[in-house]
Amino acid sequence: MAESDSGQERTEAPTSKRLEQAREKGQVARSKELGTAAVLLAASVGFSMTGPAIAKSLYTIMEQIFSMERDQIFDTNSMFRVWGLVGNELAGP
């Protein structure tokens, strides 16, 4: 009966022998949320550092595209120039 788990919490703390046996078997307490929290924190820091530069690049791209005249939109050479500017903005300074 002691070996079967009845679904209830144990009232006594585990002995050092049981803790050692569990460690040897690889049964250690791990938090799955810790890794997720670390990734989320790293992503947040990364976005906070690169966010202003991304916003500036997006603003420049949209400014170039929305300020085009109708004739330029249908001109192949003008569109290649605009896409070149977009590529330069995306590539970085």
Q: Report how far apart, in Å, the C-alpha atoms of 26 and of each of 19, 20, 22, 30, 78 are.
A: 10, 10, 6, 11, 64
Q: Which domain holds residue 73?
A: 16-91
| Tally of domains in the chain | 1
User: Does residue 85 belong to any structural domain of this protein?
Assistant: yes
Tell whether 36 is covered by a domain: yes
pLDDT in tens, 38-77: 999 999 999 899 888 888 888 888 888 888 888 888 888 8
The answer to the question of residue 4 being in a domain is no
Q: Give tens-digit pLDDT for 5-30.
A: 566 787 878 788 888 888 888 777 77
Q: Is residue 59 part of a domain?
A: yes
